[in-house]
Amino acid sequence: MSFLKEYDSEIFDLCELELERQTDHLEMIASENFTLPAVMEAMGSVFTNKYAEGYPAKRYYGGCEYADKVEQLAIDRACKLFSCKFANVQPHSGSQANGAVYAGLIKAGDKILGMDLSHGGHLTHGSKPSFSGKNYSPFYYGVELDGRINYQRVMDIAKIVQPKIIVCGASAYAREIDFKKFREIADEVGAILFADIAHIAGLVAAGEHPSPFPYADVVTTTTHKTLAGPRGGMIMTNDEDIAKKMNSAIFPALQGGPLVHVIAAKAVGFKYNLSPEWKDYAKQVKANAKILGEVLIKRGYDVVSGGTDNHLILVSFVGSDISGKEADAALGNAGITINKNTVPGETRSPFVTSGIRVGSPALTSRGMKEKEFKLIANKMADVLDDINNTKLQAEIKEELKILAQNFIIYNQSTY
């Protein structure tokens, strides 16, 4: 940081303020995590200077001998981590990876069947504002009022729609995804099965959630979120023909030069994911999310589906005067960072919502366990019980700040 401080003190100061915010607040957005210092070091490495259009041993630039080794190492580690044959580690984001799947496997206007955004899906699963909803013909399945996917209903919808691709995976679904059942649905209608495991990839890697392989034809993920690596995306498959199509879809169709420094960081992250301690981390992520849900239920709050099988919970305020937007703001004032979210039976707009999404990965990375999550859950309930009490919010913020500072983010023993 000393070079940055000397050269651009304005940006340096903002970095310091952001570190302070991350340290003093409790980051509980389900899609956020804290990565290793070694990952950040790789992202700031000399590979940021290198153009490497193409793929290992098939570049359009010279001087790629070490970039080739970096990318191949990332590919090999990814394939080992997820027990697959092919991996493309070049996507700049999960959305870019998803775009490549559509671009490589179907044509504009083809039908896709994905989870409704308001039920826990993702923008790139066919949502109207997204390229996936604009360039293709989207249809949706959702969850029942109990917050769970009804696979027979998905089958019924698929038979009517006859999609080219079925997307399984979610950004706000607290229960296990049954990839085998999705395979059966895809086979019934002759569709490609595309699994987006961005949210659960870290749990899949640790054996704490069923794997989409061998059921899915193609799988995408982000490399941050529960994988705790750098921000980026990845595509995986066991099908050589699909792998070739994915490579072409990423480059030259959708992206230019790969971010070799980020690919290096992905490789570092995968090394962490392959370590024995990763399984312990993933187990703790689930345990922490579970206790979070249990406490909030005990305090009288409606946790969608009655709990969680993964890293997040959804809290529904349907039928109450509290909105997701108000809860988000009140908890933020108390030092707890979450996000408003739509929930089953939603009655408000996506800008207001009737729920919140809360995740455990980031605080678990800081070393917090059930004891801390029980305390945090009760403090959340205290805020929600008296949502307009700004004095209480300020008091809780100071109390939780002390807790947060006892779990330093970048202490290596935390990982």
- To 10 degrees, what angle do helices 324-333 and 370-385 make? 120
Q: How many angstroms separate the Cα of 66 from the Cα of each of 49, 52, 72, 255, 342?
A: 12, 10, 10, 21, 46
Catalytic residue among 148, 181, 231, 279: 231
Residue 221 bears catalytic tag: no
Residue 138 CB: number of other CB atoms within 10 A? 21
Which tokens in the block code for residue 70? 């970096």
Residue 225 bears catalytic tag: yes
Rounded Cα–Cα distance for residues 254 and 405 (Å): 43
Catalytic residue among 124, 222, 223, 237: 222
Of the candidates 265, 307, 279, the residue with the CA atom closest to the CA atom of residue 44: 265
Catalytic residue among 32, 53, 68, 382: 53
Of the candidates 387, 382, 373, the residue with the CA atom closest to the CA atom of residue 327: 387
Residue 175 bears catalytic tag: no
Catalytic residue among 196, 217, 328, 372: 196
Of the candidates 346, 282, 287, the residue with the CA atom closest to the CA atom of residue 314: 346
Q: How many helices, marked H, and strands, marked E, lie in the chain?
A: 16, 15
Residue 51 bears catalytic tag: yes
Catalytic residue among 183, 225, 290, 366: 225
Which tokens in the block code for residue 350? 């996506």
Residue 32 bears catalytic tag: no
Catalytic residue among 23, 32, 51, 181: 51
Beta bridge partners of 236: 87, 219
Q: Where does residue 414 rank: exposed (0-12), middle (13-18), buried (19+ CB within 10 A)? A: middle
Active site residues per annotation: 51, 53, 196, 222, 225, 231
